[in-house]
Structure 1
């Protein structure tokens, strides 16, 4: 009779490991929550330690960036489904722009004529047995939910601690230097530090952003009461197609008493980025340009412009970056997620969704694969094609919104047909 086997099952490759995350934005925070979710109830593996470094304070991170974004439920932009898997959907929904409305009646995406008659109106339709719907939400509201969820998951967040540099060390691990002089080592490094990734600029050649050919300027109109916000931008959001001289426009509710306007134009070269505080003479010229732009659209736009809080005005360029795959053997245990990998311009309307999906897919791959190399390969197989499709859609959207002449006629014909079936 053979003696009983004493063979010990191999441990998970993440057993007792330390994962360093640069950036407490949507991608970094969601990754921490997703990884904890993957290892919930696991008894045979010591859950990996997750340490997040964020250059801003907690108050700055959840208190700024009050503009809104879309959380969607489509195949390539399914942020809503990821939040549901994380157990955060209802909490996020409760602080969304359209929370007080019914699930279906809470606003819709539109493609508008310059007079705000809709070419196409796409109301959020419930998806799946849980009847999940897309929503608009302030970026800082989503950040706050994710930050608290990450802390509850056991992640350590070091606020006001920016990663200044990183390098691969002899044992195959990674070492990061913080801006306060501290040096921390870990087994895996997650770069979730945004489109202008510090780690990308340090560790990857040619990590620059590409100019998408359009510059934008925007502001937030503030009102004394919800009733004062002009309809339909008190509830609905969307783009204007067919404005004078190829002017683009995007409009969206921000909260119960605020709405955002954003104009855009094609240029061969990027414009000067401007944010608060903007020199008064430059702000005056920008608002003059805004007033001229509003004159070619419905009167409600002039209303929005006149109610704009000057502190919210900004000018920026639409930038993007093609997604890329990873090579652990060449580049070491450094993985880029969200905008640090595949930045998309605002015309994609999917940046937050991609960040959430990246976070979930990477965490799931890490749990289900037998090595980091295998996990990263599985992650890339999902993330790269998905982001590539979104990038193409964003360029197509830019082309439609700024079309003139014959191209505009063709696009408006297509939109009218789509409107019949929407």
Structure 2
């Protein structure tokens, strides 16, 4: 008789996660939930997380950004947080954590004078009344890192994965085997499963899939963080609401609160070629040039944009190209036990507004597929079936958002009319 009490294929194995971002940390937590310590038949796999940045740099370097966590998928990022037992914990550090329901912010598409063209105020979802939220990226990653350690993951900061060598087996079908990983501190580790959660410019993808580069969308962005003494000084509606501002005659604009004393502004425009990527530390000439041009362009919008630009923290100024790439299917038979999640698989530009949500959903889906499958090959097939359609859909929506954000002339008025019609009939949860 066949033994039906066989241990899981990941029992007592070593799983290495490259990258301590939203995707990697969420996966570490999800795996701990899928493989509980109380399961006497299957021993929880050992989870090792390697991150090239130090813990302080990783969190501090993301303080000037906030992310939208949504409920509009099944599950969305918010529902995944609830399943991970982290919804209340993350909400407590969100941008509007202490606001009443009436004052809770939401996503908007505004005209250039900040009159709402489309206002999307999410309704509570499910029996627990889950709500979307805006949360600082640094705050989110800080809580996820703490929760991952509490779940039993070992996080090795300031240690990058710099080399990957698949060790294909010979006695299995397909010959999945293991993978040997070289680390920046000179050490090496052999893993039974390697998770590439190392972002859109994935080092592991460049090593194993060098042809899978990023695509330039034709748009570059720049922006910074406006810092105020207290929340009452942040110009309304940016003290609580976030979204895109239309009517900039080819200049895109996005604004968002970050915390109780700061708000993000980001402008964008089309360029036939990518522009230089700039970030702190910048020269004084670079700072002056970015601020001066932004103040000049702010004349196309409500004066509050100029107010945001004028109080920008120089260390927060950044310029980057909007890049993306479609998701790809895995081939563990050819590459060994390596799985890409989050931006490492399906990079999206900032215009998607969905990167953190997809990272959370990827983590939950992969952990669930790994737990439920009989083999790694079966798990990855099931995982790809969830991720590929989702990633392609978000990519299409992102490209549409780019088009509408930079529309001018008759196209702008056509889009504005279409959004007005949508606003009459549709309420989409965020």
- With normalisation by structure 1, the TM-score equals 0.96
Q: CA offsets per residue over residues 158-207 of structure 1, 9 Å max, x none? A: 11111110111254110000011101101110000000101010111312
1:36 to 15, 32, 35: 32
Residue number in structure 1 paired with 2:125: 127
User: For the residues of structure 1 that align with 2:110 and 2:10, how far apart are their CA atoms?
Assistant: 50
Residue number in structure 1 paired with 2:287: 283
- How has the CA–CA distance of structure 1 residues 88 and 104 changed in structure 2, closer, same or farther, with 3 Å as cutoff? farther
Residue number in structure 1 paired with 2:302: 298
Residue number in structure 2 paired with 1:26: 22
Q: Are the aligned partners of 1:105 and 1:123 in contact in 2 as well (CA < 8 Å)?
A: no
Residue number in structure 2 paired with 1:86: 84
Unmatched 5+ stretches in structure 2? 170-176
User: For the residues of structure 1 that align with 2:136 and 2:151, how far apart are their CA atoms?
Assistant: 23
- Residue 418 of structure 1: CA displacement? 2.1
Residue number in structure 1 paired with 2:195: 190
In the TM superposition, what are the counterparts of 1:17-416 in structure 2 within 5 Å? 17-40=13-36, 41-66=38-63, 67-75=65-73, 78-103=76-101, 105-171=103-169, 172-244=177-249, 246-416=250-420
Q: Are the aligned partners of 1:104 and 1:133 in contact in 2 as well (CA < 8 Å)?
A: no
Q: CA offsets per residue over residues 363-382 of structure 1, 9 Å max, x none? A: 00000000000000000000
Per mean C-alpha deviation after superposition, the further-off stretch among 193-202 and 71-80 is: 71-80
Per mean C-alpha deviation after superposition, the further-off stretch among 281-290 and 221-230 is: 281-290
Per mean C-alpha deviation after superposition, the further-off stretch among 314-323 and 401-410 is: 401-410
Q: Are the aligned partners of 2:167 and 2:336 in contact in 1 as well (CA < 8 Å)?
A: no
- How has the CA–CA distance of structure 1 residues 412 and 76 changed in structure 2, closer, same or farther, with 3 Å as cutoff? farther
User: For the residues of structure 2 that align with 1:346 and 1:284, how far apart are their CA atoms?
Assistant: 24
- Residue 10 of structure 1: CA displacement? 2.1
- Residue 419 of structure 1: CA displacement? 2.6
RMSD across aligned C-alpha pairs, in angstroms?
Answer: 1.3
- How has the CA–CA distance of structure 1 residues 7 and 27 changed in structure 2, closer, same or farther, with 3 Å as cutoff? closer
User: For the residues of structure 1 that align with 2:93 and 2:79, how far apart are their CA atoms?
Assistant: 17
Aligned residue pairs: how many? Answer: 417
User: For the residues of structure 2 that align with 1:104 and 1:10, how far apart are their CA atoms?
Assistant: 54
**3-state SS of the aligned residue for 1:254?**
strand
Q: Are the aligned partners of 1:76 and 1:390 in contact in 2 as well (CA < 8 Å)?
A: no
Unmatched 5+ stretches in structure 1? none
User: For the residues of structure 2 that align with 1:73 and 1:88, how far apart are their CA atoms?
Assistant: 15
User: For the residues of structure 2 that align with 1:105 and 1:228, how far apart are their CA atoms?
Assistant: 16
- Residue 8 of structure 1: CA displacement? 6.5
**3-state SS of the aligned residue for 2:315?**
helix
**3-state SS of the aligned residue for 2:300?**
coil
User: For the residues of structure 2 that align with 1:93 and 1:103, how far apart are their CA atoms?
Assistant: 13
Q: Are the aligned partners of 1:104 and 1:126 in contact in 2 as well (CA < 8 Å)?
A: no
Q: CA offsets per residue over residues 41-66 of structure 1, 9 Å max, x none? A: 32210111111111111111222211
Following superposition, which runs of at least 4 residues in structure 1 exceed 6 angstroms of deviation?
none
User: For the residues of structure 2 that align with 1:136 and 1:311, how far apart are their CA atoms?
Assistant: 22
Q: CA offsets per residue over residues 53-94 of structure 1, 9 Å max, x none? A: 111111112222111010011117810000000000000000
User: For the residues of structure 2 that align with 1:123 and 1:410, how far apart are their CA atoms?
Assistant: 24
- How has the CA–CA distance of structure 1 residues 77 and 340 changed in structure 2, closer, same or farther, with 3 Å as cutoff? farther
- How has the CA–CA distance of structure 1 residues 8 and 355 changed in structure 2, closer, same or farther, with 3 Å as cutoff? closer
Residue number in structure 1 paired with 2:174: none
**3-state SS of the aligned residue for 1:295?**
helix
